[in-house]
């Protein structure tokens, strides 16, 4: 599939480009006050993309989910768990105030766009640590409110038409429209993986915006990644600095305690390891937070299970351990108490 979009680009794939709307028609929209916050719609992990033309497919960006509220020339950025992150991404907020909207509510992902067209969560972490914002891009994929009208009951395809009319189709700038293809999910997914993208998100074209995790939005990942709770760490050995490895776990989905799933000792820069060690030292705890402490626990340093790490790995072992994990960064947009093992579901069920 030549010419398909790379991760982070705004290019429309030649599979079947979405039609560009010349007007901002808002059928079935309801007059309403601009909301203070909207709980975001979340995608369910599946093992394969859905079939049929009832679905549209977007690139899955590797960054932070950010909701943007614009009112009277002022933009406020919200994380998915309702924390004000405007000060973290001032360039994004400034760009949002220049959109031709007196009031609006956008949904998208802030990511770092690399020269090869991919996005990288690690690069985003490094950019924020360095206080730089030059490579940040806000890829916007949904529009929930515009000019005094609630759009959440509109079909997704209608919302995206209005969104494209608002943002424009340029593939440059801080704020960019997240394009999509209609149908051909399997082919689009194969090409996304071939280009080393994180994956794709498939959405029902006729679905309203429904807060929470449902089945109207599905995600398929090329690479295995998991959010994991940090329950402890080991001391560095040899020439390493900061820490040796992080001890990781997930909460039992049925309400149990923290289950140990392995440790990660790669993916850190020296600066990252030092900064992480400083944060972990402030969370030191006298006992293990895991229901069953790992082997070699005598050498571990325990911490309160409050920090969440994003980890890439090759597979889960039969006994529930990570194989070949690599640290990508801290996820500060999700509470540790909500972290469970993410399992693909049968999209047909």
| CATH number, domain with residue 58 | 3.30.470.30
What backbone phi and psi angles, to 5 degrees, belong to 190?
-60, -40
Residues 130 and 174 in one domain: yes
**Residue 9, pLDDT above cutoff 70:** no
Bridge partners (DSSP) of residue 46 are 345
Active-site residue, from 22, 60, 187, 263 = 60
Residues 116 and 153 in one domain: yes
Residues 191 and 76 in one domain: yes
Nearest one of 200, 241, 167 to 60, comparing CA atoms:
200
Please state the domain count of the chain.
Answer: 2
Residues 42 and 67 in one domain: yes
Which residues constitute the domain of residue 112? 32-221
Residues 168 and 125 in one domain: yes
**Residue 92, pLDDT above cutoff 70:** yes
pLDDT computed for residue 131 by the predictor: 75
CATH number for the domain spanning 304: value is: 2.40.50.140
Bridge partners (DSSP) of residue 106 are 68, 143
Active site residue 60: yes
pLDDT digit string (tens) for 245-297?
999 999 987 776 899 999 999 999 999 999 999 999 999 999 999 998 888 77
pLDDT computed for residue 59 by the predictor: 95
pTM: 0.81
pLDDT computed for residue 89 by the predictor: 95
pLDDT digit string (tens) for 44-67?
999 999 999 999 999 999 999 999
DSSP 337: G
**Residue 228, pLDDT above cutoff 70:** yes
Mean pLDDT for the chain overall: 88
Residues 228 and 191 in one domain: no
Q: Last residue of some domain: 177, 203, 221?
A: 221
């Amino acid at each position: 599939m030549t010419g398909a979009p790379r991760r982070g680009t705004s290019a429309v794939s030649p599979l079947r480009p979405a039609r560009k709307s010349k007007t901002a028609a808002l059928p079935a929209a309801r007059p309403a006050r601009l909301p203070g916050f909207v709980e975001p719609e979340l995608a369910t992990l599946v093992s394969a993309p859905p079939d049929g033309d009832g679905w549209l497919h977007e690139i899955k960006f590797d960054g932070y989910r950010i909701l943007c509220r614009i009112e009277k020339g002022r933009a406020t950025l919200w994380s998915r768990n309702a924390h004000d992150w405007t000060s973290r991404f001032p360039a994004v907020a400034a760009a949002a105030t220049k959109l031709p909207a007196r009031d609006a509510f956008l949904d998208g992902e802030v990511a770092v766009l690399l020269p090869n067209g991919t996005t990288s969560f690690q690069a985003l972490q490094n950019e924020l640590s360095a206080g730089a914002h030059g490579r940040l891009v806000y890829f916007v994929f949904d529009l929930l409110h515009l000019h005094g009208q609630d759009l959440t009951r509109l079909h997704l395809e209608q919302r995206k038409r209005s969104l494209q009319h608002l943002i424009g189709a340029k593939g440059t700038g801080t704020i960019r429209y997240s394009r999509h293809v209609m149908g051909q999910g399997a082919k689009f997914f194969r090409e996304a993986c071939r280009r080393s993208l994180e994956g794709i998100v498939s959405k029902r074209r006729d679905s309203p915006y429904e807060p929470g995790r449902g089945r109207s939005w599905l995600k398929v990942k090329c690479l295995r990644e998991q959010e994991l709770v940090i329950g402890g760490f080991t001391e560095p050995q040899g020439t390493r600095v900061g820490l040796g490895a992080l001890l990781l776990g997930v909460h039992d989905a049925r309400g149990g305690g923290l289950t140990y799933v392995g440790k990660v000792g790669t993916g850190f820069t020296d600066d990252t390891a030092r900064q992480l060690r400083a944060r972990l030292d402030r969370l030191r705890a006298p006992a293990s937070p895991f229901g069953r402490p790992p082997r070699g626990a005598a050498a571990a340093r325990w911490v309160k299970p409050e920090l969440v790490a994003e980890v890439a790995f090759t597979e889960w072992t039969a006994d529930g351990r990570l194989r070949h994990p690599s640290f990508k960064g801290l996820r500060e947009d999700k509470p540790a108490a909500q972290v469970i093992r993410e399992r693909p579901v049968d999209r047909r069920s």
